[in-house]
Amino acid sequence: MKNPFKLFTVPFRMLQARISPEKYARKIGVNAKGFFRIYGDAYSCFGTEPWIITLGNNVHITKNVEFITHDGATLLYRDQIPDLEITKPIIVGDNVYIGVHTVILPGVKIGNNVIIGAGSVVTKDIPDNSVAVGTPARVIKSSQEYLEKAKRESLHLGHLKGKEKDAALRSYYGYES
């Protein structure tokens, strides 16, 4: 083996991606314009071209979100066209929430003040001030409409954390232990 330390590279990167996902994302080249938070492991989140992914300010990326910057199906035709390659940047605006298990495909631009629902596959641009869900993702309402609904349905516990929040939720729903 030429470099015995290579054996430890992948496990070390995986550990780093889990312990400090935001730091890991910056280290691998994600272009972060401000505050962002990754809820979960960042190791497989940004694919093979992380440097063409741009995140705006106040971006929340939940568990198992994948940014895919290239079209891997071109591999099927490389014997005919050896230089065939489709790779496009992904741009995420400011104040964006991306729900769990969402896939964002090459060339997509997500606007400002956007919510992407869990399990969505984002195949085309999402405009500012919208909520998009589904496979493929489509806009279902404005972010203002979402906010109005959230205010009506709020339990008013968002300021609580940990055991205090757990106790309040148990009390609210009648799950006293």
User: Ramachandran region of residue 129, left (φ > 0), alpha (ψ -120 to 50) or beta?
Assistant: left
User: What pLDDT score does 176 carry?
Assistant: 78
The list of the chain residues with pLDDT below 70 reads 1-21, 43, 177
What the block records as the tokens of 41 is: 């492991």
Q: Is 36 helix (H, G, I), strand (E, B) or coil?
A: strand
Kind plus residue range of the DSSP H or E element containing 90: strand 90-92
DSSP per residue over 95-142, as a string? SEEE-TT-EE-TT-EE-SSEEE-TT-EE-S-B-SSEEEETTTTEEEEE
pLDDT at position 24: 82
Give the pLDDT of residue 44. 79
Q: Structurally, what CATH architecture does the domain formed by 4-142 represent? A: 3 Solenoid (2.160)
Q: Does an H or E element contain 174, and which?
A: none
Q: How high is the pLDDT of residue 89? A: 98
Is this structure's pTM higher than 0.85? yes
Does the N-terminal peptide bond of residue 82 adopt cis geometry, omega within 30 degrees of 0? no
Given a contact cutoff of 8 angstroms between Cβ atoms, the answer to whether 89 and 107 are in contact is yes
pLDDT at 45: 87
Would you kindly state where each structural domain of the chain is located, as residue ranges? 4-142
